[in-house]
Structure 1
Amino acid sequence: MALFKSGNPALNEKTFTKSFSYTDAEAMTVKGTLNKFGILFLMTMATAGLAWKMVYSGVDVTTYMWVSVFGALGIAVIMVFKMEWASFLAPIYALIKGFAVGAISAFYNFAFEKIAPNIITQAVALTFGVVIAMFLLYKFNIIRATQTFKKIVITATLGIAVFYLISIGLHFANIDIPFLHEGSTFGIIFSLVVVGLAAMNLILDFDMIENGAKAGAPKYMEWYGGFALLVTIIWLYLEILRLLAKLASRK
């Protein structure tokens, strides 16, 4: 679910390396970024709830879901090159991506409601648990975003991104890669690795947002940073959900 240089579509090594000259009122802050993230998160939840309701009302949202997935990807790519548009595009991304997340969640919940009735609740709880844990590890310098750390995480994330794109293309050709969806031992190990990788990307996000605030980046970068964090958290949630589904299928 991630297709970008730092593990998500928004942040990369050069995002905050520029020098800026803005007043305090015009500059990016960590608090402002978190506020923007909160707004984007609520927007995501709103359309996710809509998609969930549609699925359980008997509406076939498969086409809408795929349109949302690729539409959100397209908007994310545009923002990589037009960061100054983030204040307009980030909310659109959140609304579109939220619908896809809601539809995917509803499909999983419906498929596993008999053998794992709390799978969505568990995935949400684990996601926020991981986010909090990674923030504390970053805050207390237990895990540092060194250059070596960044290169390893970025390279691994790009590899997963390419692999996922290939798997999506094969899916439309009616060819599925078994360990992506099945609860085999290798499949579970693969999911654990990807969950860990998504978690490591949070360290990069925290580090770059903090560096952006220190560098006095322009105010619109708060939207960009909030969007970046949202991307990683959504990716983490979907990977945890996939892992829980594989574990449930082994029962």
Structure 2
Amino acid sequence: MRSSNPVFSRRGFSRDNGYAGFGAGPQAGAANPYAANPYAGSPYAQPGNPYAANPYAQGGPDLAQGYPQAPVQTAGRMTIDDVVSRTAITLGLVILAAGAAWALELPVGLGFGAGIVAMVLGLIQSFKAKPTPALILAYAVFEGLFLGVLSQAYNDIARGAPMQAVIGTTAVFAGVLIAYRTRIIRVDRRFTRFVVGASIGFILLMMVNMMFAAFGGGDGLGFRTGGLGILFGVIGVVLGACFLALDFKQIEDGVQYGAPREESWLAAFGLTLSLVWIYTELLRLISILNND
């Protein structure tokens, strides 16, 4: 069963296999030293598929050693260009909607209402077996409206914080991409377990803090202000960077093993979620630092 949280419900975050990859295919034989690799069962690496040369299912090089050259692309298979173009469309809608919300000075109530709609649309996409482009694009619009209102509110508190958060998000994206491509970051079973476990704990703490704030007033347990706020802001940014690494692994596996072209929409959705997460955490962190 897939997770109800859009952060954990991307391809690979299911209870079927528990790890980052493309589903739960049969594992390789016990004699194969790569049999425990979560990517060994890719459904796209099947006999007759030109992408069937899965290095993990055949005792190939491990994550630190790089990958064999991908075969020539065939029609209907996901490519890097597909992911880039669809991510550009999705993020472009987020940016346009955020700019419109800022320029029109939408009321805070409408902005947070748009945020709730975006969350619902994200959850619906999370439960669907296949990506729905219209649903993902609608999510991007409503998420953008929410971010526009949120950014304007933070800008009133800490002048220039939204632009600083945009620059910081871009820097985190570039840094994680370079670290992933140079194999400084290795997305394996242990890495995935750590990210999922840490993220669940982080989200639960934030939910508890919100409940205390709602019923007790103020900032609840203080996880969003002062020294604790700075600490949890840094942790949130680091978790967002880890999400990006998982997204990059998903994309690389999809291209290598011939994922259907429609999976590029899910990759764009995942990247958008990660970047929005990083931006909002940086926005809070910068606001706290500017007001200390």
Question: TM > 0.5 between the two?
Answer: yes
| CA distance, structure 1, for counterparts of residue 20 and residue 237 of structure 2 | 25
Alignment counterpart, residue 37 of structure 1, candidates 71, 84, 87: 87
Say which structure, 1 or 2, has more relative contact order (CA 8 Å, 6+ apart).
1
> Is 1:73 aligned to 2:119, yes or no?
yes
151, 175, 184: which one pairs with 2:193? 151
Of residues 177, 181, 189, the one that matches 2:220 is 177
**1:53 aligns with one of 103, 118, 122:** 103
Query: In the comparison of the two structures, how many residue pairs are matched?
Result: 238
Identity of aligned residues (%): 26
Which contiguous aligned blocks of 4+ residues in structure 1 show a shift greater than 6 angstroms? none
Alpha-carbon distance in structure 2 between the residues aligned to 1:35 and 1:97: 19
Letter in 1 for 2:135: L
For residue 160 of structure 1, report the CA deviation from its aligned partner. 1.7
Structure 1 stretches lacking a partner, 5+ long: none
Q: Which has more helix, going by share of residues?
A: 1
Matched, 1:98 2:144: yes
Is 1:165 aligned with 2:166? no
| Partner SS, residue 114 of structure 2 | helix
2:186 and 2:20 map into 1 onto residues whose CA distance is 18
- TM-score, normalised relative to structure 1: 0.86
Where structure 2 has 5 or more consecutive residues not aligned to the other structure, the ranges are 14-18, 24-41, 51-72
Q: Contact 1:9–1:76 (CA<8 Å) still a contact in 2?
A: no
- Quick check: 1:218 aligned with 2:260? yes
What is the CA-CA distance between 1:178 and the residue it aligns to? 5.1
Quick one: structure 1 residues 92 and 171, their matched pair in 2 at CA, closer, same or farther if it must change by over 3 Å? Answer: farther
Q: SS at 1:230's partner residue?
A: helix
- Secondary structure at the aligned position of 2:74 is classed as coil
Deviation, structure 1 residue 137: 0.1
Give 1:87 deviation, angstroms. Answer: 1.6
Shift of 1:146: 1.4
Bigger radius of gyration among the two:
2
Q: Take 2:150 and 2:129, find their aligned partners in 1: how far apart are those partners? A: 28
After superposition, residues 105-116 of structure 1 pair within 5 angstroms as: 105-112=151-158
